[in-house]
Amino acid sequence: MALRRPPPAPAAPLGSDQLRTVWNGFRSGDVVPCPLDRAPLALTVDASAGMYRFVCTQCGAASVWFESGPGGIRVRGHPHGHRLRGA
């Protein structure tokens, strides 16, 4: 039996730059691996807010929320707390 350490609090391992790569890969049909444990990432949709987020199926690490628009994706930041604003 392998000891499983509880994962550290996921501190948004998927930044906005990495998010674009993940999103592009996902849209072209690739299975996008988690940067922490290489498990596949799943896309979570908040339909009411029109936002998306990638969550690791294994360790629960999550990306920031983002929305997909005609000009590409736009990071919305975390749903709770401060929100990030692009330049």
To which H or E segment does residue 17 belong?
helix 16-27
In angstroms, give the least distance from the CB of 2 to Zn ion: 16
Beta bridge partners of 54: 43
Q: Side by side, which strands form the sheet with 72-77?
A: 41-46, 51-56, 65-69, 72-77
**9 or 87, CB closer to Zn ion?**
9
Q: How far is the CB of 42 from Zn ion (least distance, A)?
A: 10
Which residues in 29-68 contact Zn ion (CB under 5 A)? 34, 36-37, 39, 56, 58-59, 61
Where on the chain is the footprint of Zn ion (CB under 5 A)?
Answer: 34, 36-37, 39, 56, 58-59, 61
